[in-house]
Structure 1
Amino acid sequence: MLTRGVLLGDRYRLGERVATGGMGAVWRGTDVLLEREVAVKVLLPSLVADPEFTARFRAEARMLAALRHPGVVPVHDVGQAALGDGSQVDYLVMEYVEGEPLSARVRAVGRLDPATTMSVLAQAADALHTAHLAGIVHRDVKPGNLLVKADGSVVLVDFGIARSRDMAGLTAANMVLGTASYMSPEQATGQPVSAATDIYALGAVAYFCLAGQPPFHGDNPLAVALRHAQEDPAALPADTPPAVAAVVARALAKRPEDRFGSAAELAAAAADARDATLASIPVSARPPWALAAPAPSAVPASVPPIAAASVPPVAAASAPQIAAASAPQVAA
C-alpha cells in the first residue's frame, strides 16, 4: 500500500499525495540520492497489470525524458518497485512544478483579457510543438494541465502516457483519453488523433480563458464530447478583438485539416494577435505583465509571462471528465 514515507526503487521517498485521477496518483516526493524535490506519478494497479500498457508507458517516458523545452515538465526517471505487500507499482518521476493551474487562475478572476490569453496560447503551443516534433501527442490539453509558475511562465504537464498517433479515442477498457470540455471532434468520435488534436484543445482552452467557461456544456461528459463534433460554440464576448477571435476559431475548426498546420504556426498566430491587441489599447489598459514592456511595435517575439487583468467576472464551469473512474486526470 502506498503511504507517506514509502521508498520506491530505493530512491524516491513519497511525501503527500497531491492529485488522484483515472490513471493513478501523483505524490510530492524526494529523490534521496540527489536530495531534490520531485513529483512521482504512480499508475493504477489495473493498468500495471496490462503488459502492453506498461510497455507503452515506459517507451513514452523515454521519449518525454528526451524533450528539452522550458514549457514541458522534465521527466527524470521511470521504474517499477515492489511494495511491502508483494504488489508491484510502475512510476514516473518528474520535476515538481510549483505553480497554479490555469483553471484556478481563471476561476479567481472570472476570465482573462485577450492579450494575456494569447500569451498563454502562444507559450503552450510552442511547448507542444517540441513534443509533436518528437512524435508525441498530449491528448489531454486543458487548463488544469497548464501550470503558471511564480515568474509567470506556463508549463504543460501530464502528457499522455501512450504514443497516440495511431490510437483511437477509446481504449480497450472503454476509457476516453481526454477531458470532455476540451476534446477534439476526432477524439469524441473515436478517430485517430494527431498534432491537430492538441491544437483544437488549445483553442478550447483559449475560449475558456476569454469566456470564463468551456465552449460546450452538457448533462454528462459524453454529451459534451459529442457537441464538439456536431455543434459550433457560442460567440466569444463582444469585447474580443477580431484577430484574437480568428485565432480561436481556426484552432477550433471541426476538421483537423482546417486548423493551423502545426502548433508552431498557432504559436506565431497567437503572438501576432497578442501584439496587435497590445498595440490597439492605451498603456493604462494593458495587462499587468505588459505594463513594463517596450512600445508595442518593439514587443519581442518571445512570449511574455501571463497575469490576470481586470475584466468582468464570468462564472466558470467545471470541466467534466471521461474516464473509467470518472475522476480528474492526474497532473504533476
Structure 2
Amino acid sequence: MLSPGVQLGNRYRLDERIASGGMGDVWRGTDQVLGRTVAVKSLLPALLDEPGFAERFRGEARTMATINHPGVVDVYDFGNDQHIAFLVMEYVEGDPLSATLSRVGRLTPARTMALVAQAADALHAAHLKGIVHRDVKPGNLLVRPNGTLVLTDFGIARSELVGQLTAAGSVLGTASYISPEQATGQVATPASDVYALGVVAYQCLAGRRPFEGDNPLDIAMRHVRETPRPLPSDIPPQVCALVERAMAKDPKDRWPTSAALAGAARQLKTSLSRQARSGGAAPISAAPASPAPGRAQVPQPPRPPAAPHSPAAGHAMPHAPAAGHRPMAAHSPARPPVAQPPRPTTVAPAVTGYPRGAATVPSGYAPQPSQLRPAPRRSRTGMVLLAILLGALVVLCSGVVSYKFRNSTNAGMPAGTFVGSAVTSDALRPDGRDDSVGTAYRRLDQPRSGGDETTTSEGRRTR
C-alpha cells in the first residue's frame, strides 16, 4: 500500500495523494534527482496480471512522450517498482474541470466553446501520433488559473474497459462519457474521443450528464439506444448544433476530425465573445443566469435625484450631471450663460445583464450656473507684457506718422524754409517782411540805446 514518503524507482518520493480512479491513484511527488515537482500515476496491481498490459502501456507511454503540444501533459518516465507500475508526468497547477462543474453547476456557452477548442486541439495532436485517449472526461481536463487547459491520462483506460462496466463504481466516470461503439465492444477510434468531448460539452452547458442510470452498464447502454434530453433553451442554436453533431450515434455523422471540431468551437467562441462585448449577450461568467426564453430585459436609463428648488433656476436641478455629460465652460459675468437646447434622450439596446456605456441624459436637462466650469484665469504677467508691447507699438506708429507728415509738408516749401523750425532765411520778402510764409512770428529789428547794436524779437544780437 502506497503512502506519503514512499520512494518509487529510488528517485520519486510520493508527497500527497491528489486523485483516485478506476485504474489507480495520482500522487504529487518530487523528483529527487532533478529537484522538481512531478505527478506520479500508480496503476492498480490487478492490471499487471493481464497478459501484455504492462508492455503495451509502456509502449504507449513512449509514444505519448513524443507529443509536443501545450495542451498535452508531458510524460517524463515509466517504471515498475515493488510490483507497482507507475507513470511520471508533468505536474499541472490547476483544478480538474469536474471540480469546477461541481462548484458552479454549468458554464456559459462562450467559456464552454473555449475549453472544447483547447481539448480538441490536444486530442488532434495525439491522434496524429496514432494515440486514442479513450477516457475523455472532466476529471482528465485540468484547467490552469490562466484558463488554459491540459489533457491528461492518455491510454490509461484502454484495457478491458467494457468488461469492467459491471463493477459498480469502478469506471463510473468512463461509462458516463463512453461512445456507443465502445459500449458495444468495438475498437475505439479518434471519433470515439470526439463523442466523449461532445458529452463533456453537453455537461458544461446543461449542468448535468446526458444519461444517468442505476449502474455503469445501464448508463453505457443508454448511450447506444437513447437520445439525450435537449439542451436548455438559453443555449444558442449554433452551439446546440455543434454538440449534437459531436454526439451523433454513427461515427460517420460526427465531426470528421478533432481539428474540425476545434475550429468550429473556436469560431463560435469568438462570435459569442464579440456579442457579449457589444451588449448583445450576457457577459461570460462561471455560472450564467438562465433568463426566460424570448424575453429580453431592457435596462431603463437612470433618473437623477431632484434637488431643492434654486432661486437662480426655474426648475429642479440634479445633484450631479449624468455620467458621460460634459459641462459647458463658464461665461463672463457680463454675459449670462446661454441655455443649450436639450439633448435627445438615448435608448439603451435590448440586452441582458448590466447596461454598458455611459448613462443617458434626461430630456430637457440643462446645467445651472453653479454647475458651469469657471473660465480659466489669464496670467497677470502675460497681461503686463501685452500692455508694454501695445504701448511700444503705439509709440512706434506715432513716430512713423509724424515723420511721414513732416516730410509731406516740407516737400511743398521753398528752399531754406522748414516747417516747425526756428531758423529762417535772412532774405526779405517784397513786402519788407523777413518771416517765411506760415511762420507764427516775424523778426523785428529794434534799436538799442547806448550803442550801435540792434536786437531782434528772437533775442539774438546783431551788429
User: If the length of structure 1 is used for normalisation, what is the TM-score?
Assistant: 0.81
Is 1:262 aligned to residue 257 of structure 2? yes
Name the amino acid aligned to 1:197: S
Asked if 1:50 corresponds to 2:50, the answer is yes
Contact 1:115/1:287 (CA < 8 Å) preserved in 2?
A: no
Given residue 267 of structure 2, which amino acid in structure 1 is its aligned partner? Answer: D
Q: Is the 8 A contact 1:169 1:191 kept in 2?
A: no
Question: Partners of 1:130 and 1:282 in 2: how far apart?
Answer: 32
Q: 2:286 aligns with which of 298, 308, 317?
A: 308
Q: How many residues align?
A: 287
Could you tell me which runs of 5 or more consecutive residues in structure 1 were left unpaired when the two chains were aligned.
Answer: 83-87, 289-306, 314-332
Q: How far apart, CA to CA, are the structure 2 residues paired with 1:168 and 1:14?
A: 28
Match of 2:438 in 1: none
The 1-side partners of 2:277 and 2:70 are apart by 31
| Structure 2 unaligned regions, length at least 5 | 292-463
What is the SS of the residue equivalent to 2:193? helix
User: 1:280-331: CA deviations, max 9, x gaps?
Assistant: 344455545xxxxxxxxxxxxxxxxxx6253349xxxxxxxxxxxxxxxxxx
How many Å separate the matches in 1 of 2:63 and 2:163?
21
Partner residue, 1:326: none
Query: 1:196-275 maps to which residues of 2 (within 5 A)?
Result: 196-275=191-270
Q: Output the CA distance in 2 between the equivalents of 1:123 and 1:49.
A: 36
State how far apart, in whole Å, the 1-side matches of 2:289 and 2:143 are. 19
The DSSP-based 3-state class of the residue aligned with 1:280 is helix
Question: For 2:53, what is the secondary structure of its paired residue?
Answer: helix
Name the counterpart of 2:95: 100
Deviation track 1:121-153 (CA, whole Å, cap 9, x = no partner) reads 101000000001111111111111111111110
Q: Equivalent residue for 1:159?
A: 154
Q: Structure 2 vs 1, CA of residues 233 and 174 (structure 1 numbering), >3 Å: closer, same or farther?
A: closer
Match of 1:321 in 2: none
Checking the alignment, whether the CA contact within 8 Å between 1:65 and 1:75 is kept in structure 2 is yes
Q: What residue in structure 1 maps to residue 116 of structure 2?
A: 121
Residues 1:18 and 1:282: Cα distance change in structure 2 (over 3 Å): closer
Q: Equivalents in 1 of 2:3, 2:29: separation in Å?
A: 11
Cα displacement (A) at 1:213:
0.3
1:170 to 2:162 alignment: yes
SS class of match (2:156): coil
Counterpart in the other structure of 1:13 = 13
Alignment partners' CA distance in 1, 2:192 and 2:80: 31
Query: Hey, what does 2:273 align to over in structure 1?
Result: 278
Whichever residue aligns with residue 29 of structure 2, its letter is G
CA contact (8 A) 2:28 2:39 kept: yes
Partner of 2:435: none
Instruction: Quote the residue 2:26 is aligned against.
Output: 26
Give the counterpart letter for 2:162 in structure 1.
L
Counterpart of 2:17, as a letter, is R
Question: Does the CA-based 8 Å contact 1:168-1:187 persist in structure 2?
Answer: no
Q: CA deviation at 1:256?
A: 0.5
Structure 2 distance, partners of 1:117, 1:311, is 15
1:143 and 2:153 equivalent? no
Residues 174 and 103 (structure 1), Cα distance of their counterparts in 2 relative to 1, 3 Å cut:
closer
- Structure number with the bigger relative contact order (C-alpha 8 A, sep ≥ 6) is 1
- Conservation of the 8 A alpha-carbon contact between 1:102 and 1:144: yes
Q: Letter of the aligned partner of 1:24 in structure 2?
A: G
Which protein has the larger Cα radius of gyration, Structure 1 or Structure 2?
2
Q: Deviations over 1:238-260 (max 9, x none)?
A: 01111111110100000001101
Instruction: Say what the alpha-carbon RMSD is for the aligned residues.
Output: 2.2
Q: Which shows bigger deviation, 109-118 or 275-284? A: 275-284
Q: State the shift of 1:168 in Å.
A: 7.8
Q: Alignment partner of 1:25: what SS?
A: strand
Distance in 1 (CA, whole Å) between partners of 2:251 and 2:265 is 18
- Give the Å deviation of 1:107: 2.3
Letter in 1 for 2:32: V
Residue 109 of structure 1 corresponds to 104
The alpha-carbon deviation at position 21 of structure 1 amounts to 2.1
Kept in 2, the 8 Å contact 1:168–1:192? The answer is no
1:2 CA drift (Å): 2.0
Counterpart of 1:234, as a letter, is R
CA distance in 2, matches of 1:234, 1:174: 25
In the TM superposition, residue 161 of structure 1 has moved relative to its aligned partner by 3.0
Other-structure match for 1:85: none
Q: Which residue of 1 aligns with 2:78?
A: 78
Q: Tell me the SS of whatever aligns to 1:92.
A: strand
Change (3 A) 1:174 1:191: farther
Amino acid at match of 1:203: G
